[in-house]
Structure 1
């Protein structure tokens, strides 16, 4: 059995460097397994610090998208398989730039992949948040070949243009994951010359394991009859630690992990992720996938971000509502523009915000947005019979 060492991080390069050193030692079997914690998080509960199997190198916590966060056991063998498969897909081993929180799986993977290449990662100072100018400056200083971003960061870098965009173009590959992004953003980045690679995965698969819709070497993707995605192979975690539900434990099936995401195969054999099963909105007896409505909104001029949720309604069960981010937008005009093509899935209201509420490494906080929109729109929605 192996000891577990909590490793606090605060967004500083120094904390990231310490985590990288301890995680690399754990990967080589020369130290305790690491349990990174984020800024302001309390010390881990005692049950998370009990010894683990010798092969476990790290314990990471999920962002709690569907409930309480869970602690995931990541074997050294799975982390190595992920690093090797990533290198085979995107290019030779090289230095990585860390622009994500180090305690999340995507940030930890940046540190480990750079260590795997024999070059310490260059880490941004994130204590004051992500700044495009700081990203560009560090890119030039570090000579990094790879980085990982979430969509909100990519949007800000593209909007900055100039030297920032030049820095983004200089990478061998820019991995984009952590949250759903729209086709328009992909096209915009690639048209600007950004070597973008879209990724899909989660803490339970050591981060991204499907790149540009195709599984990495050693990774399998299966779809259940209802469209549920099942990921399998060498990068799957060893399970959860601590108190989790029986349903959560049952998600691990041998060498597979049954996700809560819905998917479909595109005509060219790529995996298209349609959204989370528990995000589906049931309105008037019909199922509405938020991603479908979000794509329609994002196709409208000036819309940079969109998030769709269902707010409670006594007659319909839920009403479809949306929040968008962009300059000079009119919510009612957007609603009218997308309604003809969406039918019953059309949003009942579209609210323009300065920013979407976020959680984790940049995923929209649907629960917080649902509460906000229910409070701000609920009365007017429930007072109308318009569909």
Structure 2
């Protein structure tokens, strides 16, 4: 076991180096074409929690399988949450992440909803720094690449009973990510699901928990069958108000300069969406968070009132939406070009993330210092 790395919190991380870590040549070959979510770094963070002992035993250890009792609560009752964020290599070689405090806050909102213990913000951010301290070489430096960070927490207590678990595990793993769009940003086509809902009122829609994504897989498969890239969900009560895509928020741009995004207790509070809307506000655009019916999208495009539509999330940052396809009609055109404001906002946000322009809002946190 190696000497612990200095921690910014009262947690003292023990570090065990991976003796089978990939060599520089093998790592370079992976970083040359990493894809997304298929390769993983050599180490991971592991912190335990128990009702009696609180947060304890923080460590950085070799990446590898997690041993679980077959009766572990997560396997039976789905008590699990996660986050998604990225580490970026700047031109001077330094490593940064984007708005980790917002991810930490959302992680704790998800924890409350899933009856899991809250992780102090400083522990959340320190855990990421500890992983970068040993796996920083995995952060790629090619254009539009990054290291995707996945903090997650689940109930590991072994019991069969419907109650919050008294033992929980928190981990951070990381995966190098290539450019999401090869050959330039490509507008996507969306399928409208009229049979399924992503989440119900009073449910877990605003939490980042695996069950929400599991619920989207079948309608996402239907979208693929219809030749579409993603699926769009409506509200579960009236089935007419737009909520979000399977894994991304949605924003509408009106010709009067207003940006509108759906508001609902069932929608995940997207860090990327909030950042994009803040940049639009900085430019003087009006931003509205309100209900928007699917018929408003249809009539707005027909009248010319809606001029651009885009989806946003951590992985793709911003994806222009060219067309919405339904069982009865289509909105837009599959060959539509990306909107000017859509692309401009995407460029500004990525320029901030990669350190190419001034970070006016103090969104960046250095990880390797």
Normalising to structure 1: TM-score of the pair? 0.26
Normalising to structure 2: TM-score of the pair? 0.27
Q: Which has the higher contact order (CA 8 A, sep 6+)?
A: 2
Larger fraction in helix: 1
